[in-house]
Amino acid sequence: MRINKRKIGVLIIISLIISAPLSLGLKQDNISHFTKTDIINQDDTDSFEKNITYLMNKAHTPGLSACIVINDSVVWEKGYGYANIKKKINATENTIYLAASISKTITATAVMQLWEKGLFGLDDDVSNYLPFELKNPKYPDVNITFRMLLSHHSSLDYGDWKSEPLIYLLFSIFGSQKEKYEEILTPSGKFYNPRIWLDAKPGTKLQYSNIGFFILEYLVEIISNQSFVTYCKTNIFEPIQMDNTSYHLSNYQKDQLATPYIWFINTYLPIPNYEFVNYGVGGVRTSIHDLSHFLIANMNNGVYKGSRILKEGTIDMIRTIQFPNNQPDNLWYQYGLGWRIMVRNGSYSLWHPGTGPGVATYINYNPSADVGLIFFVNEYPIIIPYDINSWMDILYELYDKAYSYID
């Protein structure tokens, strides 16, 4: 009997979306709790290239694209393996991937551009800008602010495709009818689920929240009086020459796209490239080459090749921990405005991961060393625990290579 892998792939995705997060393995917040393990064979340690190939095979990673930025330039970028296994299309620096939650850093940029124009204050009550009142019903007298949403302190719960699939699906369905968010977020709404809200006063607890960035996308549209997609294209992508970056699949030829895969029962199951209407949360599509322009702008105090997307003072705010007294015991990072911040040995780096069905992404930079890194793969490595170990080892290899440029 011939197996239709495309149909199986769709069924696997459906089962993943309706499964509890524990059945999937690790949540995104726990990815970097692993330490580097000594798993590379002695025969494979003679070159970076051999190590990457070895670890890709071990992690069941069909395709990988990565780049390294030093100061204001890309010093290395390359693809490995296949963007499409069946067609034997190689992954390159120009392969288009879904960037997943890295999209949140772009959303934060859009919000901060509007803040620079004086259209709102970071500590304003967002209810003053929304067509409904956004309050945690357990703390109805406490305002939820732009700063809280950007730094994941709004008291909105996680709300992702793994932990709360039905809530995430509702937000995606109503992404083009955002006025219906009130039906999900307020106790009188027909789709309201009390699990949306934490039992924590807004501003007191760091809780990564996709829901908060659904709201920020909506606020960009309300305040700018244009669609989120149009706003980002006009004010972010075009000024810094991100010419192959978009929120719409229709803007690409099929052979430009990395096919998402899941490794299951000793085979790569392809997933059809998907587009949810969750653009500001995880919907941007880009290449490592295009995204390097955005990374350079952030490393270079808001400027890419003479085009400024944010003021230097705004970049400083983005890089500042917003609620320094709220560090959770089980996390080793805090939040600036849209970016995660990790502090170690007196220095710090900014970063953001992204995961979704058939994709894992990562962006990082160290402002003091002027070193940046982007890393995309077209397979979801968190389902099988030992795959994420190897995925992390690839990341460590890339880190070692990046810092070798400044040694």
Q: Which residue has the tokens 């160290």?
A: 366
Name 2's Cβ contacts closer than 8 Å, sequence gap at least 6. Answer: none
Vertex 362: Cα angle to 236 and 55 (nearest 5): 145
Average pLDDT over residues 262-271: 92
The string of pLDDT tens digits covering residues 323-341 is 988 876 667 789 999 999 9
User: Would you state the pLDDT for residue 330?
Assistant: 62
At residue 44 the predicted structure's pLDDT band, cuts being 50, 70 and 90, is very low
User: Would you state the pLDDT for residue 2?
Assistant: 36
Q: Which residue has the tokens 């490592």?
A: 288
Q: Per the structure block, which two tokens stand in for 270?
A: 């392809």
Vertex 155: Cα angle to 349 and 274 (nearest 5): 70
Rounded CA-CA distance 54/279 in Å is 34
User: Would you state the pLDDT for residue 160?
Assistant: 60
Rounded CA-CA distance 8/177 in Å is 32
Rounded CA-CA distance 82/146 in Å is 41
Q: Per the structure block, which two tokens stand in for 280?
A: 């500001």
* Contact of 371 with 72, CB cutoff 8 Å: no
The full 3-state SS of the chain, as one line of letters, equals CCCCHHHHHHHHHHHHHHCCHHHHCCCHHHHHHCCCCCCCCHHHCCCHHHHHHHHHHHHCCCEEEEEEEECCEEEEEEEEEEEECCCCEECCCCCEEECHHHHHHHHHHHHHHHHHCCCCCCCCEHHHCCCCCCCCCCCCCCCCEHHHHHCCCCCECCCCCCCCHHHHHHHHHHHHCHHHHHHHHCCCCCCCCHHHECCCCCCCCCCCCHHHHHHHHHHHHHHHCCCHHHHHHHHHHCCCCCCCCECCHHHCCHHHECCCEEEECCEEEECCCCCCCCHHHHCCEECHHHHHHHHHHHHCCCEECCEECCCHHHHHHHCCCCCCCCCCCCCCCEECCCCEEEEECCEEEEEEEEEECCEEEEEEEECCCCEEEEEEECECCCCCHHHHHHHHHHHHHHHHHHHHCCC
Please report, to the nearest 10 degrees, the dihedral formed by the alpha carbons of residues 327, 108, 292, 363 taken in order: 20
* Contact of 394 with 375, CB cutoff 8 Å: yes
The string of pLDDT tens digits covering residues 2-27 is 334 333 333 323 333 323 232 222 23
Rounded CA-CA distance 188/142 in Å is 19
Q: Which residue has the tokens 């700018």?
A: 224
Which superfamily is assigned to 5-13+33-102+242-404 in CATH? DD-peptidase/beta-lactamase superfamily (3.40.710.10)
Name 239's Cβ contacts closer than 8 Å, sequence gap at least 6. Answer: 304, 307, 308, 309
Q: For 89, phi and psi rounded to 5 degrees?
A: -90, 120
Report the percent of the chain where pLDDT is more than 70: 85
Vertex 70: Cα angle to 67 and 74 (nearest 5): 45
Give the chain's radius of gyration (CA, Å): 20
Q: For 243, phi and psi rounded to 5 degrees?
A: -75, -20
The string of pLDDT tens digits covering residues 332-378 is 789 999 999 998 777 789 999 999 889 999 999 999 999 999 999 99
Q: What does pLDDT average to over the chain?
A: 86
Residue 276 in this model has a pLDDT that exceeds 80:
no
Residues linked to residue 331 through DSSP beta bridges, in sequence order:
none
User: Would you state the pLDDT for residue 77?
Assistant: 98
User: Would you state the pLDDT for residue 47?
Assistant: 87
Supply the angle between the helices 210-224 and 165-173 in degrees, to the nearest 10: 10
Rounded CA-CA distance 13/265 in Å is 15
Q: Which residue has the tokens 């490239």?
A: 273
User: Would you state the pLDDT for residue 162?
Assistant: 59
The string of pLDDT tens digits covering residues 178-234 is 989 999 999 999 999 888 999 999 999 999 999 999 999 999 999 999 999 999 999
Q: Per the structure block, which two tokens stand in for 377?
A: 């793969």
Residues of the chain with CATH 3.40.710.10: 5-13+33-102+242-404
